[in-house]
Amino acid sequence: MSLTNTPPTAELQALDAAHHMHPFTANGALGAKGARIITRAEGVRLTDSEGVELIDGMAGLWCVNIGYGRAELAEAAARQMRELPFYNTFFQTSHVPALTLAAKLAELAPGDLNHVFFAGSGSEANDTNIRMVRQYWALKGQPQRRTIIARRNGYHGSTMGGGSLGGMAAMHAQGGMPIPDIVHIDQPYWWGEGGDMTPEDFGLDRAHQLEAKILELGPENVAAFIAEPVQGAGGVIIPPDSYWPEVQRIVDEYGILLIADEVITGFGRLGHWFGSQSYGIRPDIMTIAKGLSSGYQPIGGSIVCDAIANTIAQDEFNHGYTYSGHPVAAAVALENLRILDEDAIITRVHDATAPHLAQAWARLADHPLVGEAVSRGLMASLALTPDKTRRAHFAAEPGTAGYICREYSFGNNLIMRHVGDRMIIAPPLVISHSDIDEIILRATRTLDQTLAHLHREGLMSAQ
């Protein structure tokens, strides 16, 4: 079947409903409603099949860091496809794009994170991490060190390994996750869970859960702790400043490996190349994907420190993917990194756009529906609340208000997501000040409409 001229939207939606199973979607309900068909994009703007233009406040799915429409990446892909569209890196062979990208990442990554194992996605990379840290400890003569500690409401992907590391209850409820030897502690979400504590005390308290869990399991049984520097899919949960230094102290004290999942926070999102640099932490492994290629090609990986890589190198590591280091994806990633660097995009986030967003976004906290409005780099979130004076949750099922707000946002041609009753944005890093202002304008209108709707429907009562 060829679809050269764009058929009417309804036709596309019918085909989509009949044959396309969407991820994280109740496909029956979507089929009845009809998916929005995105046809083109440029800069920070999307166009749908009806010709409507939207501001993409989510950079695709937290990934289009350099913005849409960079022809250099298309050219890099075409060049590489002509020269060497595929070769594997399994059987004592390598190729220029993969080895050059590995070297470039070693140069960019902090400390002695000098080695890269490639994957096709963030989920795959986290599966690699599970295998790698367990194999590391086995080679170190401590095969019982298998347990990985992760966090509730963390997100690390949707494979069996990634989904198990993640702490999403709705995911664990389906298909037999988590797999054995992965345990979860609570997240550092002060606004939602901090009670009467100050944010600083709460951050320490949540870090101490890690210590308590290590002691409960026995440090000799714990392989690693994995966490996102800032939780993304969990609702842009920015930890109190006290959290990460204490976590670093604890993993150091007990000799536990630290895996920073940088799939969202990597490649400039927080105003540094990596979120770990923004928080001054020293991971042993960083998970990467998304912004590595700005989403133009599917590619992920693990950046690994000398000690682990050198140990793993002592034996055959029985793990890998057909597309590990795929030459076209690697060539595109290299071109993406060149642009991030030469256009000084990350410096601009750090010095200009993130401070501008922080200031403008914080003002949304004055809105009667908003309990907190926080940002770090170009990640930002709002907590919707029926009563901001006591950080109250809605009596209605969690996510009801958030969903209504998301619908108004789409109606205002702004892609702003909801996670439960939190609203989140993470726009392309190339966004201008005036487009940030436009996001704030549309978000404010959206909040006004949502508030009116919630009042109308009697949904403003608190738990």
- Residues with Cβ < 8 Å from 167, sequence gap 6 or more? 150, 151, 152, 153, 154, 184, 187
**Residue 19: both structure tokens together:** 């044959």
Min separation Cβ 90 and ligand PXG, Å: 21
* Of the residues 207, 226, 233, 238, which one makes contact with ligand PXG according to CB under 6 A: 233
Say whether residue 450 binds ligand PXG (CB under 6 A): no
Dist CA 430 CA 44 (whole Å): 8
**φ/ψ (deg, to 5) at 259:** -105, 115
- State the Cα–Cα distance between residues 340 and 402, nearest whole angstrom: 33
Rounded to a whole number of angstroms, the minimum distance from the CB of residue 452 to ligand PXG is 27
Quick one: which of 124, 87, 63, 117 has its CA closest to 336? Answer: 63
Pick between residue 367 and residue 409 the one whose CB is nearest to ligand PXG.
Answer: 409
Of residues 129-188, those binding ligand PXG (CB under 6 A):
155-157, 162
Interface region with ligand PXG, contact rule CB under 6 A, candidates 138-146, 260-268, 351-359, 391-399: 260-268
Total residue length of the chain: 463
Which of 44, 55, 171, 289 contacts ligand PXG by CB under 6 A? 289
In the complex, minimum distance from the CB of residue 61 to ligand PXG, in angstroms, rounded to a whole number: 5
Residue selected from 300, 301, 325, 428 as contacting ligand PXG according to rule CB under 6 A: 300
Alpha-carbon distances of 156 from 24, 135, 363, 389, 446, rounded to whole Å:
14, 20, 31, 33, 30
Rule CB under 6 A: choose which of 261, 335, 421, 435 binds ligand PXG.
Answer: 261
The closest of 236, 321, 260 to 62, measured between CA atoms, is 236
Q: In what order do the strands lie in the sheet with 53-56?
A: 38-42, 45-48, 53-56, 414-415
**What minimum distance in Å lies between the beta carbon of 8 and ligand PXG?**
29
Among 59, 102, 177, 264, which residue interacts with ligand PXG (rule: CB under 6 A)?
Answer: 264
Give the residue with the Cβ less far from ligand PXG, 401 or 454.
401
Which of residues 13 and 121 has its CB atom nearest to ligand PXG in the complex? Answer: 121
> By CB under 6 A, which span of 34-42, 225-233, 396-404, 428-436 interacts with ligand PXG?
225-233
Residues 350 to 409 in contact with ligand PXG, rule: CB under 6 A: none
- DSSP SS3 for 339: helix
Q: Which residues contact 213 (CB under 8 A, 6 or more apart)?
A: 149, 183, 185
Q: Are strands 113-119 and 300-305 parallel, antiparallel or unpaired?
A: antiparallel
Taking CB under 6 A as the rule, which mask of x and - marks residues 51-70 in contact with ligand PXG? ----------x---------
Candidate segments 69-77, 98-106, 115-123, 431-439, binder of ligand PXG by CB under 6 A: 115-123
| Residue 61: Cβ-neighbour burial (10 angstroms; 0-12, 13-18, 19+) | middle
Given candidates 13, 49, 65, 123, which one binds ligand PXG under the rule CB under 6 A? 123
274 near ligand PXG, rule: CB under 6 A: no
Residue nearest to ligand PXG (CB): 122
Residue 354 tokens read as 């993130």
Give CA separation, 89 vs 92, 122, 321, in Å: 7, 19, 9
Where is 73: in which H helix or E strand? helix 71-83
Among 116, 263, 396, 460, binds ligand PXG (CB under 6 A): 263
Q: Please report how close the Cβ of residue 417 comes to ligand PXG at its closest, in angstroms.
A: 7
Which residue ranges make up the site for ligand PXG (CB under 6 A)? 61, 121-123, 126, 155-157, 162, 228, 232-233, 261, 263-264, 287, 289, 300
